[in-house]
Amino acid sequence: MDKLLIFGGRPLKGAITISGAKNAVLPIMAAALLSSGIHFLKRVPRLRDVFTMAELLKRMGAEIEIKNNICSINTRKISKFEASYDLVKTMRASILVLGPLVARFGKAKVSLPGGCAIGARPVNLHIVGLEKMGATIILEEGYIVAKANRLKGTKIYFDIPTVTGTENIMMAATLAKGLTIIENAAKEPEIVDLANYLISMGAKIKGAGTSIIEIEGVSELIPPDSYEVIPDRIEAGTFMAIAGATGGDILIKGCKTNLLDAVILKMKDAGVVFKETPEGLRVIGPKRPNAVDIKTMPYPGFPTDMQAQFMAMMAIANGTSVIKETIFENRFMHVAELRRFGADISVEGNTATVKGVKKLKGAPVMATDLRASASLVIAALIAEGKTIVDRIYHLDRGYEELDKKLISLGAKIERIK
Ligand code: EPU
C-alpha cells in the first residue's frame, strides 16, 4: 500500500490546474448506459473511482478507453445488467448504474452498498423513488434486484436532498413515460452537469440546480459529439485550504469560483485573500488564519466534502472554531489523526471544537476516507518535521496526482510504494 512521506513547514507557491470533477464524471459515465452509441467525455480525471466505474461498465459489455483525460464509452453491446459486490464495496457511487439500467433495459441487479467510514449512508430514497416510477424491487442476498416495463413519470418528494438519489431518479426519468417531478431535489453543481449531459443527449429536463426538477421522458437518447466535465470544486477548495493553512500563494487555474461561494467567504473570514486574475484565482494565505465557525449544509451551503480540510486549517488558527457536520453522522474520523499532530480538538455529537495551536508537529497518521486523507495532507504540510500518511489509496480515489501537483508548488513529498 502506498504511503506519502511529507516534510512540512513551508508555504506552497505556484500554479496548478484543477482536474475534472469526480462527483460529476461518475454519474455522467453511468448515464452513458441510457443510450446506445459512443460517448466521448473530456476532462476526465484519472482517478481510482473513475477506473472502478469503467470496470463496472466494462463488465456489462461496454468498451472503454481512457487516454489523456478523454474517455470513450461504447455502449452498443451492453448485455449484463449487474453491479457486483466486489466493485460496489470499493465505490458506493456504483449505485448510479441502478436508475439507467432499469430505465433502458428494464432490469438491474446492483449490490446494496454497505455503510462506510463516514456514515450508514442508506439508499432507501433511490429505491422508493424507482418503486414510485413502477419498478418492482426486492432485496436478495445483499443485492437490489429491480425489474420494470417502461418506467412511468410521477411526483417524487425526497425527505432529505440526496445527491446521488436525485441523479439516479433524474437519469431514470429521462426514458420514462410522461412527466417526473422531483421535489426537494439536491442542488449540487454536479447534478446540473449531469443534467446538461442528459440534455445534450436529447433529454427534456428543467430546473436542475433548484429544488424542483421536472423531467419529461423521451423514447430514446443519442450521445452528443463530445462533452466536457466541469472542474472539481472540492479539489479547488482543497488547494484554497492548502494556501490558507501554509501561508502560501497559489494560482488556481480552471476552477469555477462561483460554485465555491460558501467556502471562499469562510476562507476570507479566516484572513485568506483572493484575487481574480486573467489566468485564474490567486489565493494568498495569511501568516496565521483567524478561527472561523462552519456548519456543513447541502449546496449552496458549506460542503461536507470540505469540512475535514477546513478543520486542518483551523487547527493552527488564532482562536477557537466550532465545526458542525450536519450531513453525515460519522465524518470526524480525521479528528483523532489530527490530534496526533498536536491539534487541540474535542468532539461532542456532530460538533467539533478546534482550539487553534501555534504549531503542528509531523507524525505517522492513517487516512480513513477521501476527504479525511486530504485534511491529513494539509496538516502534514503545515507541520514541522516528517509525516507519513498511510493508506493513501483513499486520496487516489478522488484527487488526480495530488502529490505531483503539491511538488510543483514546492512541497517536499515522496510517494513510498
Ligand atoms: N440519505 C438517506 N437515504 C438515501 C440517500 C441519502 O438517508 O437514500 C442520507 C445520507 O445518509 C446522508 C444524506 O442523506 O446523511 C445526504 O447524502 P447524499 O445521498 O446526498 O450523499 P451521496 O449521494 O451518497 C454524494 C457525494 C459525496 C458527498 C455527498 C454530500 C457522489 C458520488 N458522492 O454522496 O461525496 O459527500 O453527496 O454532498 O456524488 C466525496 O466526494 O468525498 C463524497 C463522499
**Residue type (1 letter), 25:** V
CA distances for 186 relative to 80, 158, 399, angstroms = 30, 9, 23
The third-level CATH classification (topology) of the domain covering 22-228 is UDP-n-acetylglucosamine1-carboxyvinyl-transferase; Chain (3.65.10)
Give mean pLDDT, residues 62-82: 97
For ligand 1, whether the C-beta of 121 sits within 6 Å is yes
CA 129 to chain centre: 22
Question: Cα(95) to centroid of ligand 1, in Å?
Answer: 11
For ligand 1, whether the C-beta of 186 sits within 6 Å is yes
Return the sign of the alpha-carbon dihedral for residues 368, 44, 416, 250. Answer: negative
The answer to whether 116 is a known catalytic residue is yes
Q: What is the pLDDT of residues 184-210, one digit of tens each?
A: 999 999 999 999 999 999 999 999 999
For ligand 1, whether the C-beta of 162 sits within 6 Å is yes
Instruction: Report the distance separating Cα 190 and Cα 168, nearest Å.
Output: 13
Strands in 3-7's sheet, in edge-to-edge order, are 364-366, 386-390, 3-7, 412-416
For ligand 1, whether the C-beta of 123 sits within 6 Å is yes
Give mean pLDDT, residues 212-218: 98
For CATH 3.65.10.10, the residue range(s) in the chain are 3-19+231-416, 22-228
For ligand 1, whether the C-beta of 296 sits within 6 Å is no
Contact indicator for 231, 21 with CB cutoff of 8 Å: yes
Question: Cα(126) to centroid of ligand 1, in Å?
Answer: 11
For ligand 1, whether the C-beta of 201 sits within 6 Å is no
Q: What is the pLDDT of residues 130-150, one digit of tens each?
A: 999 999 999 999 999 999 999
Q: What is the pLDDT of residues 83-127, one digit of tens each?
A: 999 999 999 999 999 999 999 999 999 999 976 778 778 999 999
Return the sign of the alpha-carbon dihedral for residues 115, 118, 120, 121. Answer: negative
Question: Cα(118) to centroid of ligand 1, in Å?
Answer: 10
Of 65-79, 107-121, 201-215, 220-234, give the lowest mean pLDDT range.
107-121
For helices 124-132 and 163-174, angle between their N-to-C axes, nearest 10 degrees: 20
Is the pLDDT reported for residue 234 higher than 90? Answer: yes
Q: Which of 26, 118, 163, 304 to mutate to test the pocket of ligand 1 (most atoms within 8 A of CB)?
A: 163
Question: Cα(365) to centroid of ligand 1, in Å?
Answer: 26
Question: Cα(99) to centroid of ligand 1, in Å?
Answer: 16
pLDDT at 66: 97
Strands in 70-74's sheet, in edge-to-edge order, are 63-67, 70-74, 38-42, 227-228
Q: What is the pLDDT of residues 156-192, one digit of tens each?
A: 999 999 999 999 999 999 999 999 999 999 999 999 9
Instruction: Report the distance separating Cα 330 and Cα 16, nearest Å.
Output: 32
Average pLDDT, the chain: 97
Cis peptide bond N-terminal to 300, omega within 30:
yes
Report percent pLDDT > 70 for the chain: 100
Instruction: Report the distance separating Cα 261 and Cα 300, nearest Å.
Output: 8
Contact indicator for 291, 354 with CB cutoff of 8 Å: yes
Residue recorded with cell 441487479: 109
Question: Cα(156) to centroid of ligand 1, in Å?
Answer: 18
CATH 3.65.10.10 fits 3-19+231-416, yes or no: yes
pLDDT at 121: 86
Q: Which of 92, 118, 126, 162 to mutate to test the pocket of ligand 1 (most atoms within 8 A of CB)?
A: 162
**Residue type (1 letter), 42:** K
Closest-CA residue, ligand 1 atom 7, reads 122
For ligand 1, whether the C-beta of 45 sits within 6 Å is no
Which atom of ligand 1 is nearest the CA belonging to 93? 32
Q: Which of 124, 36, 45, 24 is nearest to 79 (CA)?
A: 36
pLDDT at 364: 97
pLDDT at 214: 98
Instruction: Report the distance separating Cα 332 and Cα 340, nearest Å.
Output: 14
For ligand 1, whether the C-beta of 125 sits within 6 Å is yes
Q: What is the pLDDT of residues 313-354, one digit of tens each?
A: 999 999 999 999 999 998 999 999 999 999 999 999 999 999
Q: Which of 164, 169, 329 to mutate to test the pocket of ligand 1 (most atoms within 8 A of CB)?
A: 164
Question: Cα(121) to centroid of ligand 1, in Å?
Answer: 7
pLDDT at 119: 79
Catalytic residue among 15, 70, 116, 347: 116
Report percent pLDDT > 90 for the chain: 95
Give mean pLDDT, residues 307-317: 98
247: left (phi over 0), alpha (psi -120 to 50) or beta: left
43: left (phi over 0), alpha (psi -120 to 50) or beta: left
**Residues comprising the chain, all counted:** 417
Closest-CA residue, ligand 1 atom 24, reads 164
Contact indicator for 239, 306 with CB cutoff of 8 Å: no
Question: Cα(209) to centroid of ligand 1, in Å?
Answer: 16
Q: Report the half-sphere exposure of 204 (CA within 13 A, side-chain side).
A: 14
For ligand 1, whether the C-beta of 115 sits within 6 Å is no
Instruction: Report the distance separating Cα 25 and Cα 232, nearest Å.
Output: 10
Closest-CA residue, ligand 1 atom 36, reads 305
Q: What string of H, E and C letters represents the secondary structure of the chain? A: CCEEEEECCCCCEEEEECCECHHHHHHHHHHHHHCCCEEEEECCCCCHHHHHHHHHHHHCCCEEEEECCEEEEECCCCCCCEECHHHHCCCHHHHHHHHHHHHHHCEEEEECCCCECCECCCCHHHHHHHHHCCCEEEEECCEEEEECCCCECCEEECCCCCHHHHHHHHHHHHCCECEEEEECCCCCHHHHHHHHHHHHCCCEEECECECEEEEECCCCCCCCCCEECCECHHHHHHHHHHHHHHCCEEEEECCCHHHHHHHHHHHHHCCCEEEEECCEEEEECCCCCECCCEEECCCCCECHHHHHHHHHHHCCCECEEEEECCCCCCCCHHHHHHHCCCCEEEEECCEEEEECCCCCECCEEECCCHHHHHHHHHHHHHCECEEEEECCHHHHHHCCCHHHHHHHCCCEEEEEC
Which atom of ligand 1 is nearest the CA belonging to 23? 39
